[in-house]
Structure 1
């Protein structure tokens, strides 16, 4: 699952990129769902709604919400991440966009992928890591 915060139109995930990512996931025997969010409250609610029974891995892209997340810890994203039982990777296209809170209190992502100015490549790398991780977990579970 991709949970994506709002982006400027020029930086948003395109239909072509989403289709490509879904094809990569499908080739690995997985499905990929995009959950766009219009604001911080929606973003936090989506993270809280993730259940490990239906979502094996999450790509978390806060988009333009980073400053709002940092300025409003009471919104609950840190708590939502701490309660999350699903592994996640942060995806960004700008080095100033990471979700580190001021006190560093929330659980850390498996990885943080930042390709300055190239969100598409960030997503492709993050999805590759997620699919590899899921494949390794599947092998370990079968053993």
Structure 2
């Protein structure tokens, strides 16, 4: 049985998450590019919400599914962070969830406007104000370059990064989460 360890190369294929993979510690499920705290008895402590994903609808692409988000949550938990996904049906909900992230003291926000990008650009002021009011850094996540907001929105608080992997939203999320966890690991 091959064990997935922190020294395994990132490009090596991970084992299936079943009988073949039984980590001894949460440090074993984080890839090399994530900052991993050392194993300690208090390593299993409950984490407050550190990272919030505010997500608009994506009707033109396949849904990522609960298993995908559970995997993202496991990556965050492996380094002592908690991830919360907040889906939004319209721009008003999207802006409200950004305000909720601010009020909840989220340490990092990933924004994925999805189909709401065109609405946000047509009426940019509410989203601009919500982004400018965030006390923490944020990253834009997209599945297509045509939907990016950063330059066209003209918010005072620009995103730390804008991640676009055309037609691969899952990869965009994994990269954005890796950046967020890396930055939080430095703080």
**Rg comparison, structure with higher value:** 2
Distance in structure 2 (CA, Å) of the matches to 1:49 and 1:9:
27
The aligned residue for residue 90 of structure 1 is 140
Q: Runs in 1 of length 4+ with deviation above 6 angstroms?
A: none
- RMSD over aligned CA atoms reads 1.7
Structure 2 counterpart SS, 1:117: coil
C-alpha contact (below 8 Å) 1:70/1:101 kept by paired residues: no
Aligned pair in 2 of structure 1 residues 56, 94: CA closer, same or farther (>3 Å)? same
- TM superposition shift of 1:39: 0.3
For the pair 1:24 / 2:75, whether they are aligned, the reply is: yes
Distance in structure 2 (CA, Å) of the matches to 1:82 and 1:58:
12
Of Structure 1 and Structure 2, which has the larger fraction of its residues in helix?
1
For the pair 1:136 / 2:147, whether they are aligned, the reply is: no
* Worse-matched range after superposition: 106-115 or 43-52: 43-52
- May I ask how many residue pairs the two structures share in their alignment? 136
* Pairing partner for 1:45 from 96, 102, 119: 96
Return the structure number with greater relative CO, CA threshold 8 A, min gap 6: 1
